[in-house]
Amino acid sequence: MSKHRTRTRGTVTVIGAGMAGLVAAYELERLGHRVEILEGSRRLGGRIRTHRFGAHEGAPFVELGAMRVPTHHHRTMHYVEHLGLLDQVRPFTTLLSEENALLATSTGHVRLRDAPRRLIADVRASLHRDAYREETVVFGAWLAAVVDAVAPPALRTGLRADLARNLLDLVEQVDLTPHLLGDGKDRIDVHGLFAAHPGIRAGCGTRLNSFLDDILTETSPGLIRLACGMDQLVQRLAGRVRGPIWLGQEVTGLDVAPDEVRLRVGRGPLAALRGADVVLCTVPFSLLRRMSLGGFDEDKLTVVREVDYCPATKVAVHVREPFWEREGIRGGASFSGGLIRQTYYPAPAEDAPSGAEGRGAALLASYTIGEDADLLGRLPDRQRHRVVLDELGRMHPQVLRRGMVRGVASMAWGEHEWTGGGCTIRWGQDAAACEEERRRAARPQGRLFFAGEHCSSEPAWIEGAVESALEAVRAIDRRFGAGAVGAGRVARSRLEAAA
Protein backbone atom coordinates (compact mmCIF):
# COMPACT_ATOMS: atom_id res chain seq x y z
CA MET A 1 0.00 0.00 0.00
CA SER A 2 2.76 2.42 0.88
CA LYS A 3 6.47 2.86 0.44
CA HIS A 4 6.90 5.11 3.47
CA ARG A 5 6.63 4.15 7.10
CA THR A 6 7.42 6.93 9.54
CA ARG A 7 6.50 7.46 13.19
CA THR A 8 6.09 10.71 15.08
CA ARG A 9 7.17 10.01 18.65
CA GLY A 10 5.80 11.98 21.58
CA THR A 11 3.45 13.98 19.36
CA VAL A 12 -0.32 14.11 19.38
CA THR A 13 -1.51 13.93 15.77
CA VAL A 14 -4.79 15.81 15.35
CA ILE A 15 -6.85 14.97 12.26
CA GLY A 16 -8.95 17.88 11.02
CA ALA A 17 -8.44 21.64 11.35
CA GLY A 18 -12.03 22.61 12.14
CA MET A 19 -12.93 24.18 15.45
CA ALA A 20 -12.59 20.91 17.40
CA GLY A 21 -9.13 20.12 15.99
CA LEU A 22 -7.79 23.65 16.46
CA VAL A 23 -9.09 24.08 20.02
CA ALA A 24 -7.68 20.67 20.95
CA ALA A 25 -4.28 21.38 19.38
CA TYR A 26 -4.06 24.75 21.08
CA GLU A 27 -5.02 23.44 24.52
CA LEU A 28 -2.78 20.37 24.24
CA GLU A 29 0.19 22.59 23.50
CA ARG A 30 -0.63 24.76 26.48
CA LEU A 31 -0.44 21.61 28.60
CA GLY A 32 3.02 20.90 27.23
CA HIS A 33 2.18 18.34 24.51
CA ARG A 34 3.75 18.41 21.07
CA VAL A 35 1.11 18.62 18.36
CA GLU A 36 0.72 18.36 14.60
CA ILE A 37 -2.49 18.75 12.59
CA LEU A 38 -3.32 16.87 9.39
CA GLU A 39 -6.07 18.61 7.43
CA GLY A 40 -7.43 16.92 4.32
CA SER A 41 -8.66 20.00 2.49
CA ARG A 42 -6.68 23.07 1.44
CA ARG A 43 -8.28 25.35 4.00
CA LEU A 44 -8.77 25.78 7.73
CA GLY A 45 -12.04 25.98 9.62
CA GLY A 46 -14.22 23.12 8.31
CA ARG A 47 -17.83 24.13 8.81
CA ILE A 48 -16.84 27.67 9.82
CA ARG A 49 -16.62 29.21 6.37
CA THR A 50 -16.77 32.92 5.72
CA HIS A 51 -17.11 33.63 1.99
CA ARG A 52 -15.72 37.01 0.94
CA PHE A 53 -16.83 38.48 -2.38
CA GLY A 54 -13.39 39.88 -3.25
CA ALA A 55 -9.93 39.81 -1.73
CA HIS A 56 -9.80 43.51 -0.77
CA GLU A 57 -10.29 44.78 2.77
CA GLY A 58 -13.93 45.46 3.48
CA ALA A 59 -15.16 43.06 0.78
CA PRO A 60 -18.77 42.05 1.55
CA PHE A 61 -18.97 38.62 3.08
CA VAL A 62 -21.46 35.95 4.03
CA GLU A 63 -21.23 33.05 6.44
CA LEU A 64 -21.69 29.85 4.44
CA GLY A 65 -21.18 27.80 7.63
CA ALA A 66 -21.73 28.84 11.25
CA MET A 67 -23.04 32.40 11.51
CA ARG A 68 -24.13 33.10 15.08
CA VAL A 69 -23.26 32.18 18.64
CA PRO A 70 -25.86 31.91 21.40
CA THR A 71 -24.51 33.95 24.32
CA HIS A 72 -25.20 31.04 26.69
CA HIS A 73 -22.65 28.94 24.75
CA HIS A 74 -20.02 29.88 27.31
CA ARG A 75 -17.23 27.70 25.92
CA THR A 76 -17.44 29.35 22.50
CA MET A 77 -17.78 32.78 24.10
CA HIS A 78 -14.67 31.99 26.17
CA TYR A 79 -12.62 31.64 22.97
CA VAL A 80 -14.20 34.76 21.44
CA GLU A 81 -12.90 36.65 24.47
CA HIS A 82 -9.61 34.78 24.83
CA LEU A 83 -8.73 35.39 21.17
CA GLY A 84 -9.31 39.14 21.51
CA LEU A 85 -12.51 39.23 19.46
CA LEU A 86 -14.86 40.81 22.01
CA ASP A 87 -14.69 44.16 20.20
CA GLN A 88 -16.07 42.40 17.10
CA VAL A 89 -19.15 41.05 18.88
CA ARG A 90 -22.47 42.44 17.58
CA PRO A 91 -26.05 41.33 18.19
CA PHE A 92 -27.27 38.86 15.59
CA THR A 93 -30.75 39.83 14.45
CA THR A 94 -32.55 36.62 13.73
CA LEU A 95 -35.80 35.48 12.11
CA LEU A 96 -39.07 37.08 13.21
CA SER A 97 -37.41 40.12 14.76
CA GLU A 98 -37.14 42.70 11.93
CA GLU A 99 -40.61 44.23 11.52
CA ASN A 100 -40.09 45.01 7.82
CA ALA A 101 -38.79 41.59 6.90
CA LEU A 102 -41.12 39.26 5.01
CA LEU A 103 -42.98 36.16 6.00
CA ALA A 104 -44.49 33.54 3.71
CA THR A 105 -48.18 32.95 4.47
CA SER A 106 -51.03 31.22 2.65
CA THR A 107 -51.72 34.44 0.74
CA GLY A 108 -48.14 35.27 -0.18
CA HIS A 109 -45.41 37.31 1.55
CA VAL A 110 -46.43 39.83 4.19
CA ARG A 111 -44.29 42.14 6.34
CA LEU A 112 -43.74 40.81 9.83
CA ARG A 113 -45.52 43.85 11.28
CA ASP A 114 -48.66 42.93 9.30
CA ALA A 115 -48.39 39.17 9.82
CA PRO A 116 -50.27 38.37 13.07
CA ARG A 117 -53.85 38.41 11.68
CA ARG A 118 -52.83 36.31 8.67
CA LEU A 119 -50.90 33.76 10.77
CA ILE A 120 -53.77 33.41 13.21
CA ALA A 121 -56.27 32.91 10.36
CA ASP A 122 -54.00 30.27 8.80
CA VAL A 123 -53.81 28.27 12.02
CA ARG A 124 -57.54 28.55 12.65
CA ALA A 125 -58.18 27.24 9.14
CA SER A 126 -56.00 24.17 9.84
CA LEU A 127 -57.88 23.16 13.03
CA HIS A 128 -60.77 20.70 13.14
CA ARG A 129 -62.23 22.32 16.22
CA ASP A 130 -62.24 26.06 16.74
CA ALA A 131 -63.32 26.52 20.33
CA TYR A 132 -59.97 27.73 21.63
CA ARG A 133 -59.34 31.06 23.33
CA GLU A 134 -57.88 33.69 21.01
CA GLU A 135 -54.56 33.64 22.92
CA THR A 136 -54.25 29.86 22.52
CA VAL A 137 -54.56 30.29 18.76
CA VAL A 138 -52.03 33.15 18.91
CA PHE A 139 -49.61 30.66 20.50
CA GLY A 140 -50.31 28.10 17.73
CA ALA A 141 -49.81 30.75 15.06
CA TRP A 142 -46.40 31.90 16.31
CA LEU A 143 -45.09 28.44 17.11
CA ALA A 144 -46.10 27.41 13.58
CA ALA A 145 -44.32 30.49 12.19
CA VAL A 146 -41.11 29.61 14.07
CA VAL A 147 -41.21 25.93 13.10
CA ASP A 148 -42.15 26.67 9.47
CA ALA A 149 -39.21 29.02 9.22
CA VAL A 150 -36.54 26.81 10.78
CA ALA A 151 -37.53 23.15 10.59
CA PRO A 152 -37.46 20.64 7.72
CA PRO A 153 -40.74 19.44 6.11
CA ALA A 154 -41.46 16.41 8.32
CA LEU A 155 -41.32 18.50 11.49
CA ARG A 156 -43.51 21.20 9.94
CA THR A 157 -46.21 18.66 9.11
CA GLY A 158 -45.71 17.00 12.50
CA LEU A 159 -46.41 20.30 14.28
CA ARG A 160 -49.76 20.70 12.50
CA ALA A 161 -50.70 17.21 13.77
CA ASP A 162 -49.47 18.05 17.31
CA LEU A 163 -51.50 21.26 17.39
CA ALA A 164 -54.65 19.41 16.37
CA ARG A 165 -53.97 16.43 18.69
CA ASN A 166 -53.30 17.86 22.14
CA LEU A 167 -50.75 20.70 22.11
CA LEU A 168 -53.40 23.42 21.99
CA ASP A 169 -55.46 21.57 24.61
CA LEU A 170 -52.45 21.70 26.96
CA VAL A 171 -51.85 25.38 26.24
CA GLU A 172 -55.54 26.11 26.81
CA GLN A 173 -54.96 25.24 30.52
CA VAL A 174 -52.20 27.86 30.93
CA ASP A 175 -52.55 31.57 31.73
CA LEU A 176 -50.92 33.13 28.66
CA THR A 177 -51.45 36.76 29.69
CA PRO A 178 -47.86 37.34 30.92
CA HIS A 179 -46.49 36.12 27.58
CA LEU A 180 -48.70 38.05 25.16
CA LEU A 181 -46.97 40.87 23.31
CA GLY A 182 -47.92 43.90 21.20
CA ASP A 183 -50.74 46.42 21.50
CA GLY A 184 -53.19 43.95 19.96
CA LYS A 185 -51.92 41.07 22.16
CA ASP A 186 -51.59 39.17 18.89
CA ARG A 187 -48.02 37.99 19.43
CA ILE A 188 -46.54 35.73 22.04
CA ASP A 189 -43.16 35.20 23.61
CA VAL A 190 -42.91 31.52 22.66
CA HIS A 191 -39.48 31.22 24.34
CA GLY A 192 -40.70 32.68 27.66
CA LEU A 193 -43.80 30.50 27.58
CA PHE A 194 -41.88 27.23 27.08
CA ALA A 195 -39.42 28.26 29.80
CA ALA A 196 -42.22 29.04 32.27
CA HIS A 197 -44.33 25.96 31.38
CA PRO A 198 -41.98 23.16 30.27
CA GLY A 199 -44.87 20.70 30.69
CA ILE A 200 -46.50 21.86 27.45
CA ARG A 201 -43.61 20.30 25.53
CA ALA A 202 -45.30 16.97 26.22
CA GLY A 203 -47.77 17.99 23.50
CA CYS A 204 -45.00 18.08 20.86
CA GLY A 205 -44.14 14.85 19.03
CA THR A 206 -40.78 13.23 19.97
CA ARG A 207 -38.93 14.43 16.87
CA LEU A 208 -40.12 18.00 17.22
CA ASN A 209 -39.44 17.94 20.96
CA SER A 210 -35.81 16.95 20.48
CA PHE A 211 -35.32 19.74 17.89
CA LEU A 212 -37.27 22.34 19.87
CA ASP A 213 -34.29 23.62 21.89
CA ASP A 214 -32.39 24.32 18.66
CA ILE A 215 -35.43 25.95 17.06
CA LEU A 216 -35.92 28.20 20.07
CA THR A 217 -32.20 29.01 20.30
CA GLU A 218 -32.03 29.94 16.61
CA THR A 219 -34.90 32.39 16.99
CA SER A 220 -33.95 33.76 20.42
CA PRO A 221 -32.74 37.31 21.03
CA GLY A 222 -29.56 36.08 22.80
CA LEU A 223 -27.39 35.57 19.70
CA ILE A 224 -24.22 37.31 18.59
CA ARG A 225 -22.14 37.46 15.41
CA LEU A 226 -18.58 38.55 14.69
CA ALA A 227 -18.42 41.75 12.62
CA CYS A 228 -15.05 40.66 11.18
CA GLY A 229 -16.39 37.24 10.08
CA MET A 230 -16.55 33.96 11.95
CA ASP A 231 -13.41 32.76 10.17
CA GLN A 232 -11.38 35.06 12.42
CA LEU A 233 -12.06 32.68 15.28
CA VAL A 234 -10.36 29.97 13.25
CA GLN A 235 -7.53 32.16 11.94
CA ARG A 236 -6.63 33.44 15.39
CA LEU A 237 -6.65 29.96 16.90
CA ALA A 238 -4.53 28.58 14.07
CA GLY A 239 -2.13 31.50 14.56
CA ARG A 240 -1.59 30.40 18.15
CA VAL A 241 -0.87 26.75 17.37
CA ARG A 242 2.93 26.37 17.24
CA GLY A 243 3.07 22.87 15.78
CA PRO A 244 2.73 22.28 12.05
CA ILE A 245 -0.70 22.39 10.37
CA TRP A 246 -0.37 20.31 7.21
CA LEU A 247 -3.01 21.04 4.57
CA GLY A 248 -3.97 18.61 1.78
CA GLN A 249 -3.25 15.58 4.03
CA GLU A 250 -6.29 13.38 3.65
CA VAL A 251 -6.34 10.52 6.14
CA THR A 252 -7.87 7.51 4.38
CA GLY A 253 -7.22 4.72 6.87
CA LEU A 254 -6.89 4.28 10.65
CA ASP A 255 -5.59 1.11 12.25
CA VAL A 256 -5.47 0.92 16.04
CA ALA A 257 -2.53 -1.18 17.32
CA PRO A 258 -1.66 -1.75 21.00
CA ASP A 259 1.14 0.83 21.15
CA GLU A 260 0.41 3.13 18.21
CA VAL A 261 -2.16 4.21 15.65
CA ARG A 262 -1.29 3.56 12.01
CA LEU A 263 -2.50 6.21 9.61
CA ARG A 264 -2.82 5.95 5.88
CA VAL A 265 -2.52 9.39 4.33
CA GLY A 266 -3.54 10.04 0.73
CA ARG A 267 -4.97 7.74 -1.92
CA GLY A 268 -3.72 5.36 -4.57
CA PRO A 269 -0.05 4.68 -5.20
CA LEU A 270 0.95 7.92 -3.46
CA ALA A 271 -0.65 6.94 -0.15
CA ALA A 272 1.79 6.93 2.78
CA LEU A 273 1.63 4.89 5.97
CA ARG A 274 2.76 6.45 9.21
CA GLY A 275 2.61 5.43 12.82
CA ALA A 276 1.53 7.90 15.50
CA ASP A 277 1.85 7.72 19.29
CA VAL A 278 -1.50 9.36 20.04
CA VAL A 279 -4.16 10.49 17.56
CA LEU A 280 -7.18 12.74 17.98
CA CYS A 281 -9.64 12.29 15.12
CA THR A 282 -12.16 15.10 14.54
CA VAL A 283 -13.35 13.86 11.14
CA PRO A 284 -17.18 13.73 10.96
CA PHE A 285 -18.46 10.13 11.25
CA SER A 286 -20.23 10.62 7.90
CA LEU A 287 -16.70 10.49 6.41
CA LEU A 288 -14.96 8.29 8.97
CA ARG A 289 -17.28 5.41 7.99
CA ARG A 290 -15.94 5.60 4.44
CA MET A 291 -12.33 5.08 5.62
CA SER A 292 -10.62 1.76 6.05
CA LEU A 293 -10.76 1.16 9.83
CA GLY A 294 -8.82 -1.52 11.72
CA GLY A 295 -8.61 -2.45 15.41
CA PHE A 296 -11.98 -0.81 16.27
CA ASP A 297 -14.34 -2.72 18.55
CA GLU A 298 -17.83 -3.66 17.31
CA ASP A 299 -19.69 -1.05 19.32
CA LYS A 300 -17.46 1.71 18.02
CA LEU A 301 -17.93 0.61 14.41
CA THR A 302 -21.68 0.56 15.03
CA VAL A 303 -21.85 4.09 16.37
CA VAL A 304 -19.57 5.37 13.58
CA ARG A 305 -22.09 3.91 11.12
CA GLU A 306 -25.20 5.06 12.99
CA VAL A 307 -24.67 8.75 13.80
CA ASP A 308 -27.26 10.59 11.75
CA TYR A 309 -26.53 13.75 9.75
CA CYS A 310 -28.84 16.50 8.54
CA PRO A 311 -27.85 18.27 5.33
CA ALA A 312 -27.71 22.07 5.11
CA THR A 313 -27.37 24.28 2.05
CA LYS A 314 -26.61 27.99 1.91
CA VAL A 315 -26.67 30.23 -1.16
CA ALA A 316 -25.24 33.76 -0.99
CA VAL A 317 -25.68 36.57 -3.49
CA HIS A 318 -23.42 39.56 -4.05
CA VAL A 319 -25.53 42.50 -5.23
CA ARG A 320 -24.77 46.00 -6.48
CA GLU A 321 -26.62 47.70 -3.59
CA PRO A 322 -28.51 46.73 -0.43
CA PHE A 323 -31.94 47.23 -2.07
CA TRP A 324 -33.74 45.76 0.97
CA GLU A 325 -32.74 48.81 3.04
CA ARG A 326 -35.11 50.91 0.86
CA GLU A 327 -37.93 48.72 2.17
CA GLY A 328 -36.84 49.48 5.72
CA ILE A 329 -35.20 46.08 6.26
CA ARG A 330 -32.21 46.72 8.49
CA GLY A 331 -30.74 43.26 9.06
CA GLY A 332 -32.59 40.25 10.40
CA ALA A 333 -34.18 37.67 8.18
CA SER A 334 -37.23 36.85 6.10
CA PHE A 335 -39.02 33.55 6.21
CA SER A 336 -39.11 33.26 2.43
CA GLY A 337 -40.82 29.85 2.25
CA GLY A 338 -40.76 27.92 -1.04
CA LEU A 339 -37.47 26.27 -1.90
CA ILE A 340 -35.24 28.96 -0.40
CA ARG A 341 -36.86 28.95 3.10
CA GLN A 342 -34.78 31.59 4.97
CA THR A 343 -33.11 34.80 3.74
CA TYR A 344 -30.70 36.74 6.01
CA TYR A 345 -29.82 40.39 5.45
CA PRO A 346 -26.53 41.92 6.58
CA ALA A 347 -26.64 44.54 9.32
CA PRO A 348 -26.68 48.07 7.92
CA ALA A 349 -23.39 49.73 7.09
CA GLU A 350 -22.38 50.63 10.65
CA ASP A 351 -19.59 48.03 10.38
CA ALA A 352 -18.52 48.83 6.83
CA PRO A 353 -15.14 50.55 6.57
CA SER A 354 -15.07 53.92 4.79
CA GLY A 355 -14.88 53.48 1.04
CA ALA A 356 -17.06 50.39 1.19
CA GLU A 357 -19.65 52.05 -1.07
CA GLY A 358 -19.40 50.62 -4.56
CA ARG A 359 -18.36 47.24 -3.26
CA GLY A 360 -21.98 46.16 -3.13
CA ALA A 361 -23.55 44.07 -0.42
CA ALA A 362 -23.86 40.39 0.34
CA LEU A 363 -27.09 38.62 1.13
CA LEU A 364 -27.61 35.10 2.43
CA ALA A 365 -30.40 34.45 -0.05
CA SER A 366 -31.23 30.92 1.05
CA TYR A 367 -30.60 28.75 4.10
CA THR A 368 -32.19 25.31 4.08
CA ILE A 369 -31.84 22.13 6.10
CA GLY A 370 -33.06 18.54 5.78
CA GLU A 371 -34.91 17.53 2.61
CA ASP A 372 -35.12 21.20 1.58
CA ALA A 373 -31.31 21.35 1.63
CA ASP A 374 -31.04 18.14 -0.39
CA LEU A 375 -33.36 19.51 -3.08
CA LEU A 376 -31.08 22.50 -3.67
CA GLY A 377 -27.85 20.76 -2.72
CA ARG A 378 -28.16 18.05 -5.35
CA LEU A 379 -28.58 20.51 -8.20
CA PRO A 380 -25.49 21.52 -10.16
CA ASP A 381 -24.19 24.91 -8.88
CA ARG A 382 -25.47 26.98 -11.84
CA GLN A 383 -28.94 25.50 -11.69
CA ARG A 384 -29.08 25.88 -7.88
CA HIS A 385 -28.13 29.54 -8.20
CA ARG A 386 -30.72 30.11 -10.93
CA VAL A 387 -33.51 28.52 -8.85
CA VAL A 388 -32.58 30.63 -5.80
CA LEU A 389 -32.40 33.89 -7.78
CA ASP A 390 -35.79 33.19 -9.42
CA GLU A 391 -37.43 32.56 -6.05
CA LEU A 392 -35.68 35.47 -4.38
CA GLY A 393 -36.95 37.64 -7.25
CA ARG A 394 -40.54 36.79 -6.31
CA MET A 395 -39.95 38.23 -2.85
CA HIS A 396 -37.54 41.00 -3.91
CA PRO A 397 -38.07 41.81 -7.62
CA GLN A 398 -35.12 44.27 -7.44
CA VAL A 399 -32.74 41.32 -7.58
CA LEU A 400 -33.89 40.61 -11.15
CA ARG A 401 -32.86 44.07 -12.40
CA ARG A 402 -30.09 43.99 -14.97
CA GLY A 403 -26.66 44.32 -13.36
CA MET A 404 -27.95 43.88 -9.79
CA VAL A 405 -26.34 40.47 -9.20
CA ARG A 406 -22.55 40.50 -9.25
CA GLY A 407 -21.91 36.97 -8.07
CA VAL A 408 -23.35 33.93 -6.33
CA ALA A 409 -21.65 31.45 -4.01
CA SER A 410 -23.03 28.42 -2.26
CA MET A 411 -22.21 25.47 -0.06
CA ALA A 412 -24.19 22.24 -0.06
CA TRP A 413 -22.82 20.70 3.13
CA GLY A 414 -24.72 17.43 2.67
CA GLU A 415 -22.75 16.79 -0.51
CA HIS A 416 -19.49 18.39 0.58
CA GLU A 417 -16.34 16.34 0.15
CA TRP A 418 -14.96 17.27 3.61
CA THR A 419 -18.19 17.05 5.61
CA GLY A 420 -20.27 14.45 3.81
CA GLY A 421 -23.55 15.06 5.62
CA GLY A 422 -24.14 18.46 7.21
CA CYS A 423 -24.42 18.28 11.00
CA THR A 424 -25.23 15.57 13.53
CA ILE A 425 -28.86 15.23 14.59
CA ARG A 426 -30.38 13.19 17.39
CA TRP A 427 -34.02 13.90 16.62
CA GLY A 428 -36.49 11.49 18.11
CA GLN A 429 -34.05 10.34 20.84
CA ASP A 430 -34.75 11.17 24.47
CA ALA A 431 -32.12 12.80 26.71
CA ALA A 432 -30.73 9.48 27.97
CA ALA A 433 -30.38 8.08 24.43
CA CYS A 434 -28.66 11.29 23.26
CA GLU A 435 -26.14 11.08 26.11
CA GLU A 436 -25.52 7.40 25.41
CA GLU A 437 -24.80 8.12 21.73
CA ARG A 438 -22.49 11.01 22.71
CA ARG A 439 -20.57 8.77 25.12
CA ARG A 440 -20.17 6.00 22.54
CA ALA A 441 -19.10 8.46 19.82
CA ALA A 442 -16.45 10.03 22.06
CA ARG A 443 -15.11 6.74 23.50
CA PRO A 444 -11.45 6.23 22.53
CA GLN A 445 -10.01 3.14 20.86
CA GLY A 446 -6.59 2.46 22.36
CA ARG A 447 -4.49 5.54 21.58
CA LEU A 448 -7.07 6.90 19.14
CA PHE A 449 -9.31 9.64 20.62
CA PHE A 450 -12.34 11.35 19.10
CA ALA A 451 -13.76 14.88 19.10
CA GLY A 452 -16.01 17.01 16.90
CA GLU A 453 -19.57 18.23 17.20
CA HIS A 454 -20.79 14.64 16.73
CA CYS A 455 -19.06 13.64 20.02
CA SER A 456 -20.76 16.34 22.08
CA SER A 457 -23.96 17.20 23.89
CA GLU A 458 -24.44 20.24 21.60
CA PRO A 459 -24.33 18.72 18.12
CA ALA A 460 -24.61 21.11 15.16
CA TRP A 461 -23.10 23.97 17.17
CA ILE A 462 -19.56 25.31 17.52
CA GLU A 463 -20.14 24.83 21.25
CA GLY A 464 -20.32 21.08 20.63
CA ALA A 465 -17.02 21.06 18.74
CA VAL A 466 -15.34 22.96 21.60
CA GLU A 467 -16.95 20.87 24.35
CA SER A 468 -15.77 17.62 22.75
CA ALA A 469 -12.28 19.01 22.11
CA LEU A 470 -11.84 19.99 25.75
CA GLU A 471 -13.09 16.56 26.87
CA ALA A 472 -10.61 14.82 24.59
CA VAL A 473 -7.74 17.06 25.71
CA ARG A 474 -8.45 16.17 29.34
CA ALA A 475 -8.60 12.45 28.49
CA ILE A 476 -5.33 12.56 26.50
CA ASP A 477 -3.59 14.58 29.17
CA ARG A 478 -4.72 12.21 31.92
CA ARG A 479 -3.19 9.26 30.05
CA PHE A 480 -0.17 10.79 28.37
CA GLY A 481 0.50 14.10 30.20
CA ALA A 482 3.90 14.87 31.69
CA GLY A 483 2.30 15.64 35.08
CA ALA A 484 0.73 18.78 36.44
CA VAL A 485 3.86 20.85 36.89
CA GLY A 486 4.87 24.40 36.02
CA ALA A 487 3.24 25.90 32.95
CA GLY A 488 1.21 22.71 32.55
CA ARG A 489 -0.47 23.23 35.91
CA VAL A 490 -1.45 26.82 35.06
CA ALA A 491 -2.78 25.67 31.67
CA ARG A 492 -4.71 22.85 33.33
CA SER A 493 -6.56 25.27 35.59
CA ARG A 494 -7.29 27.50 32.56
CA LEU A 495 -8.61 24.45 30.74
CA GLU A 496 -10.99 23.76 33.62
CA ALA A 497 -12.16 27.39 33.36
CA ALA A 498 -12.82 27.01 29.60
CA ALA A 499 -14.70 23.75 30.12
Ligand X SMILES: Cc1cc2nc3c(=O)[nH]c(=O)nc-3n(C[C@H](O)[C@H](O)[C@H](O)COP(=O)(O)OP(=O)(O)OC[C@H]3O[C@@H](n4cnc5c(N)ncnc54)[C@H](O)[C@@H]3O)c2cc1C
The footprint of ligand X (CB under 6 A) covers 15-21, 38-41, 46-48, 65-69, 250-251, 282-284, 287, 312, 314, 413, 418-419, 422-423, 452-453, 460-465
Q: How near is the Cβ of 10 to ligand X at its closest, in Å?
A: 21
Distance CA 313, CA 378 (A): 10
**Exposed/middle/buried for residue 350 (C-beta within 10 Å: 0-12, 13-18, 19+):** exposed
Q: How near is the Cβ of 390 to ligand X at its closest, in Å?
A: 22
Q: Do β-strands 448-450 and 272-281 pair in parallel, antiparallel, or remain unpaired? A: parallel
Toward ligand X, which CB reaches closer, 147 or 465?
465
Distance CA 314, CA 326 (A): 24
Distance CA 274, CA 290 (A): 19
Amino acid at 101: A
Q: How near is the Cβ of 51 to ligand X at its closest, in Å?
A: 12
Q: Do β-strands 89-91 and 361-369 pair in parallel, antiparallel, or remain unpaired? A: unpaired
What spatial distance separates the first Cα and last Cα of the chain, rounded to whole Å? 41
Q: How near is the Cβ of 20 to ligand X at its closest, in Å?
A: 3
Q: How near is the Cβ of 194 to ligand X at its closest, in Å?
A: 21
Measured in whole angstroms, how far is the alpha carbon of residue 272 from the centre of its chain? 33
Q: How near is the Cβ of 209 to ligand X at its closest, in Å?
A: 21
Is residue 144 a contact partner of residue 160, using CB atoms and an 8 Å limit? yes
The DSSP string of 200-265 is GGGGS-HHHHHHHHHHHHHTSS-EEEETT-THHHHHHHHHH--S-EESS--EEEEEEETTEEEEEE
Toward ligand X, which CB reaches closer, 105 or 368?
368
Q: How near is the Cβ of 88 to ligand X at its closest, in Å?
A: 15
Toward ligand X, which CB reaches closer, 123 or 234?
234
Distance CA 467, CA 458 (A): 8
Is residue 459 a contact partner of residue 467, using CB atoms and an 8 Å limit? no
Toward ligand X, which CB reaches closer, 88 or 419?
419
Longest distance between any two alpha carbons in the chain, whole Å: 76
Q: Counting every residue, how long is the chain? A: 499
Q: How near is the Cβ of 66 to ligand X at its closest, in Å?
A: 3
Toward ligand X, which CB reaches closer, 171 or 472?
472
Distance CA 244, CA 343 (A): 39
Toward ligand X, which CB reaches closer, 26 or 413?
413
Toward ligand X, which CB reaches closer, 188 or 304?
304
Toward ligand X, which CB reaches closer, 314 or 396?
314
Contacts from 322-326 at CB under 8 Å and sequence distance 24+?
322/346, 322/348, 322/349, 322/361, 322/363, 323/396, 323/398, 323/399, 323/404, 324/363, 324/396
Toward ligand X, which CB reaches closer, 17 or 170?
17
Q: How near is the Cβ of 423 to ligand X at its closest, in Å?
A: 5
User: Strand, helix or coil at 340?
Assistant: coil
Q: Do β-strands 245-246 and 292-294 pair in parallel, antiparallel, or remain unpaired? A: unpaired
* Helices 486-498 + 74-82 axis angle, to 10: 130
Toward ligand X, which CB reaches closer, 138 or 307?
307
Amino acid at 263: L
Q: How near is the Cβ of 46 to ligand X at its closest, in Å?
A: 2
Toward ligand X, which CB reaches closer, 185 or 289?
289
Q: How near is the Cβ of 276 to ligand X at its closest, in Å?
A: 13
Q: How near is the Cβ of 186 to ligand X at its closest, in Å?
A: 30
Toward ligand X, which CB reaches closer, 19 or 120?
19
Distance CA 289, CA 162 (A): 36
Is residue 344 a contact partner of residue 370, using CB atoms and an 8 Å limit? no
Toward ligand X, which CB reaches closer, 158 or 464?
464
**Exposed/middle/buried for residue 498 (C-beta within 10 Å: 0-12, 13-18, 19+):** middle
Q: How near is the Cβ of 86 to ligand X at its closest, in Å?
A: 17
